[in-house]
Structure 1
Amino acid sequence: MKSKTLLFSLLTTVGLTTGFNANAQFGSLFQKAKDKAAQKASDAFDKKTSSTSTSPSSSTSAPKGNRAIVNTGFDFVPGDTVLFAEDFASVPVGASTKAVKTNGSATIVSVNTESGKWLNLADHATYKFSRQIFYPKHFTVEFDILTSADKISDIYPVTFGFVTDNSIRDYISSGGAYVTLKYYNNNDVSVDSEYLSKYLNSNFDLTTFTNRKMHVSMIVDGDRLVVYLDQTKLADTMAFLPTTAKNLYISGAMQYQNGAKAMVSNIVIKGFKKV
């Protein structure tokens, strides 16, 4: 009887122990499952947060490669009455043109890469028209500049603008209201006025016009000067006094290096009919 009681106690103890271990194991597995689910939820939240903070549509940053492109247009309108036009077509290559006067030489040349004929701008030479032009209050000027160079910085520099007289006594490197193409700096153009002590500098890539023509357009409207280089507006500013007389001049470079040259052609000056 005593042995049966002992056996019953042993079996009861084993059963309780086994049940306790089973419950413990189940609780452990259940806790692990809860921990794993919580970790997944945490990872998902972190991923979403990271994605939101680096999203291209975020208001704090613009997507790369989508910079806004600004279109400035080209609002130049030439005059309707021709006051002067010269493309040197009637002048033999190698001869001098009588259409302009200069303190240097005015030789006409041709270029294998461009059609037409061109006035070669000699160094330290200024060019004005042989015939006195009486400019109206409102007029436009257009011409082409062509360079020939191994590199554009071999030209130092080319200037054009307006002074009060039509004399060619001296070389004009800067005078009146004028534009300076600083080829030697590669991307430097200035539009200045000695009449108003105004000096404006602009960045404009001149290297792209190495051995290629560039079209110049200008508007003079009383005391205002507007300048475009190849349809890019560089200045729209007061440049003259109300009583300032105007005579166009173009000056060759102070210095050309390594055989570089600058030339002009297709000069057209137009006024506007009175309304």
Structure 2
Amino acid sequence: MKSTFRSVLLVLTITAFSIPAHGQFLKKLGKKAQKAAERTVERRVEQESSKKTDQALDSILEPGKEGQQTPPNPDSPQAPNNGGGQSPNTESDTKNGEPAPSGTKSIQVYSKFDYVPGDKPLFFDDFANDFIGDFPSKWNTNGGGEIVTLGDSQEKWYAITNRSITLPNLANTLPEDYTVEFDLKVVNLTKKTGSGARLEIYLTETPNLTLNESYASSTLNFCQYIAIGVQVTNRFKDNPSPISNRLARDLRNVYQDIIHISIAVNKNRYRLWINESKIADLPQFIYKPELINYLKLKVDGTDLETRNERVLIGNLKIAEGGVDLRRKLIAEGKISTNGILFDSGSTNIKPESMGIIRQIYQVLQQDGSINLKIVGHTDSDGADDANMKLSKGRADAVKSALVSVYGVDGSRLITEGKGELEPVAENSSPEGKAQNRRVEFIKQ
């Protein structure tokens, strides 16, 4: 490598002296190289500064961290198993600070993921009751779409038609505090996927199939030949400080896999995560919360006819809340959440659930006198004895995550499974089943 570099340098030097016309070009090239080196140094300084800032914030937000038992390093080859049936990764799960594709990560990667889903379901759709090829029964659109599956998987997805607006039929308007989650898969992305290929996520004023109203939006651009990032825009009447900004992120590799989108709205504040990475945190993005009532999705710029590009969404969940569970657990001594998700029929914790488990860890870390009982519950699908075993296994998996990821003393935690014995909603609808699949934390 060194000899090759010297050879190239020698050729450039000889050329500079022998061909005067190229002299100016080489000077410009040298200046560009110098500027590039300066930018590299600046980036490294920024990264180190950011790391120090994170450490300082951790010491403030997580009091008592100094002198506590150090949790296992999620990236260390010696890190114990996460209890969810997966082995931790031993290689870096991000590249250049960007979120890695979801299929390559274990729950350790999400150990600082701070998204907490709402605890009162408002809408849930996994399209289980829809037939393949049909338009989903709980949605509306001005363009079209159909239910599809991927490969041999039986999981259903809603393929949204290009150049169309679609929205779930909510029974009630959105409250001031709520969360939105869904899985996203863009099929057949290639280097030819253009800069117009995108999914626009709107929080809007009306359920009309237009966008001529107040809104706040995030646009995910799927272009593969350049990195475009995420566009955030809001439009409210009389807004003295409208926002329109492109957040520079290279997400091209991320979009090659199934990803998880999480959005949290707390009155004026708007936050967006892609997988475990927070992309946007805008304190005044929802300028007038009283004007934001509905969720709409718009797909544009994909090429179905020539390249078979399609945008698919799955497992959409809207829930009221997203409150700080730490204070509630300390004050009331008990919390129940359906935000800890598992693979279907399994004890494998979905990584995006770690925001809640992290908050439980923070409570235990702050007060060493607190012990907890972790209780798992299921819906009524399946046999009673199988559900009892599954609910206990899921409680055990949560305990294992607290112990292996965060270093909590296992003697402070006991587990119990109650299967389908204590439902909090009817098991006749997807929303009711989602409420019944929950985990309780009870102070002992």
Band of TM-score, shorter chain: 0.5 to 0.7
Q: Which has the higher helix share?
A: 2
Does residue 191 (structure 1) correspond to residue 254 (structure 2)? The answer is no
* 5+ residue gaps, structure 1: 1-60
Does residue 121 (structure 1) correspond to residue 160 (structure 2)? The answer is yes
| Whole-Å separation in 2 of the counterparts to 1:205 and 1:108 | 30
Name the SS for the 2:145 alignment partner: coil
Specify the alignment match of 1:228 in structure 2: 273
Amino acid at match of 2:215: G
Change over 3 Å in CA distance of 1:175–1:160 after alignment to 2: farther
Specify the alignment match of 1:250 in structure 2: 297
| Whole-Å separation in 2 of the counterparts to 1:140 and 1:76 | 9
Specify the alignment match of 1:260 in structure 2: 309
Q: CA deviation at 1:76?
A: 0.6
Q: CA deviation at 1:134?
A: 2.0
Name the SS for the 2:253 alignment partner: helix
1:100–1:106 CA contact under 8 A, matched in 2: no
Change over 3 Å in CA distance of 1:181–1:133 after alignment to 2: same
Q: CA deviation at 1:115?
A: 5.3
Change over 3 Å in CA distance of 1:134–1:260 after alignment to 2: same
Specify the alignment match of 2:318 in structure 1: 269
Amino acid at match of 1:105: G
> Where in structure 2 are the equivalents of 1:31-46 lying within 5 Å?
none
Say which of 283, 287, 293 aligns to 1:241: 287
Q: CA deviation at 1:194?
A: 1.6
Does residue 209 (structure 1) correspond to residue 248 (structure 2)? The answer is no
Change over 3 Å in CA distance of 1:272–1:124 after alignment to 2: same
Name the SS for the 2:307 alignment partner: coil
Amino acid at match of 1:241: Y
| Whole-Å separation in 2 of the counterparts to 1:174 and 1:244 | 9
Name whichever of 85-94 and 254-263 sits farther off.
254-263
Q: What is the TM-score normalised by the length of structure 1?
A: 0.68
Name whichever of 193-202 and 228-237 sits farther off.
193-202
Deviations 1:97-127 (A, max 9, x none): 1110000113101111765111101111111
Specify the alignment match of 1:85 in structure 2: 124
Q: Which has the higher strand share?
A: 1
Q: CA deviation at 1:269?
A: 0.6
2:205–2:213 CA contact under 8 A, matched in 1: no
Specify the alignment match of 1:48 in structure 2: none
| Whole-Å separation in 1 of the counterparts to 2:322 and 2:190 | 43
Say which of 110, 113, 118 aligns to 1:74: 113
Amino acid at match of 2:291: T
Say which of 103, 106, 110 aligns to 2:145: 106
Q: CA deviation at 1:173?
A: 11
Q: CA deviation at 1:92?
A: 1.4
| Whole-Å separation in 1 of the counterparts to 2:159 and 2:213 | 19
Amino acid at match of 1:203: A
Deviations 1:48-74 (A, max 9, x none): xxxxxxxxxxxxx9xx9xx75847932
Q: Based on CA coordinates, which of the two structures has the bigger radius of gyration?
A: 1
Deviations 1:131-177 (A, max 9, x none): 44321111110001101114163461211121100111x3x599710
1:160–1:248 CA contact under 8 A, matched in 2: yes
| Whole-Å separation in 1 of the counterparts to 2:179 and 2:154 | 24
Q: CA deviation at 1:231?
A: 1.8
| Whole-Å separation in 2 of the counterparts to 1:115 and 1:262 | 18
* 5+ residue gaps, structure 2: 1-40, 56-111, 329-444
Does residue 162 (structure 1) correspond to residue 211 (structure 2)? The answer is no
Q: How many percent of aligned residue pairs carry the same amino acid?
A: 20
Name the SS for the 1:76 alignment partner: coil
Name the SS for the 1:207 alignment partner: coil
Change over 3 Å in CA distance of 1:209–1:225 after alignment to 2: same
Change over 3 Å in CA distance of 1:151–1:93 after alignment to 2: same
Amino acid at match of 1:109: V
Amino acid at match of 2:295: L
Specify the alignment match of 2:89 in structure 1: none
How many aligned residue pairs are there? 209
Specify the alignment match of 1:200 in structure 2: 245
RMSD across aligned C-alpha pairs, in angstroms?
A: 2.9
Q: Which gives a bigger RCO, structure 1 or 2 (Cα 8 Å, sep 6+)?
A: 1
Change over 3 Å in CA distance of 1:84–1:249 after alignment to 2: same
| Whole-Å separation in 2 of the counterparts to 1:113 and 1:230 | 24
